[in-house]
Amino acid sequence: MKTKKIDEVFKRLTDSITEPITALEYNSEFELLIAVILSAQATDISVNLATPALFRVAPTPSKMLELGENKLVGFIKRIGLYKTKSSNIIKTCKILVEEHDSIIPDSRKELERLPGVGRKTAGVVLNVAFGKPEIPVDTHVFRVSNRVGLVKAKNVDETEKQLLKRVPDWAKPKAHHLLILHGRHVCKARKPMCRECCLIELCEFKEKNLT
């Protein structure tokens, strides 16, 4: 897809999606980090059901450490992989307290040193909390980007590299959420709503789905 066409894709998505923001509920950079760790292989809905009560008692790294792993499990056991996530969160909070004065680092290198924080999680925190032009790739971003023709990639890492190279600078800060929300509500995995899509004239997938 040519540069002019890619620019038009993001202009249309921007016009169509008025609030390209995360669905995760949080009140601080720390709460965002914990919510994103919990959201791995889980739904935002399940995370949002668990975190309000958790954040009331443990809104900081030190408070989370005081809570401890066993009590933390009680708050998040409705979320997938809760045992592993509980362990990682406590380890992460220990590092934040001892090495970062409880401040969330704003560099990918330091974020990815934290247990439970991989490339995608770090990218989300950098993008949402610090406004950096990162485009972390989840299943929605991967599907939409390849379907529409923004990229031609076989995996999430290659998809991210191509998006960072091709997405116009003005759209990079919100590209992640524009693509996620378009994937959740329009360009769905099983039954994409092509006839209602704002990208219908631009999409390379439409002809296959409309025949």
Question: pLDDT per residue over 143-177, tens digit each?
Answer: 999 999 999 999 999 999 999 999 999 999 999 99
Enter the tokens of residue 34.
Answer: 């914990």
Per-residue pLDDT tens over the stretch 89-132: 999 999 999 999 999 999 999 999 999 999 999 999 999 999 99
The question of whether 157 is a catalytic residue gets the answer: no
The question of whether 101 is a catalytic residue gets the answer: no
Residue with tokens 């309000």: 52
In three-state form (DSSP H/G/I as H, E/B as E, the rest C), the secondary structure along 119-166 is HHHHHHHHHHHHCCCCCCCCHHHHHHHHHHCCCCCCCHHHHHHHHHHH
Residues 6+ apart with CB under 8 A from 192: 147, 186, 205, 209
CATH class of 29-130: mainly alpha
85, 120, 174, 206: the active-site residue: 120
**Sign (positive/negative) of CA torsion 34, 39, 44, 50?**
negative
Enter the tokens of residue 9.
Answer: 């894709």
Residue range(s) in the chain whose domain bears CATH number 1.10.340.30:
29-130
- The average pLDDT across 183-206 equals 93
Q: How far apart are CA 106 and CA 77, in angstroms?
A: 29
7, 44, 106, 138: the active-site residue: 138
Residue range(s) in the chain whose domain bears CATH number 1.10.1670.10:
3-20+134-210
Per-residue pLDDT tens over the stretch 65-84: 999 999 999 999 999 999 99
How would residue 207 be classed by pLDDT, with cut points 50, 70 and 90?
Answer: low
Q: Is 57 helix (H, G, I), strand (E, B) or coil?
A: helix
CATH class of 3-20+134-210: mainly alpha
State pTM to two decimals.
0.91
pLDDT at residue number 1: 86
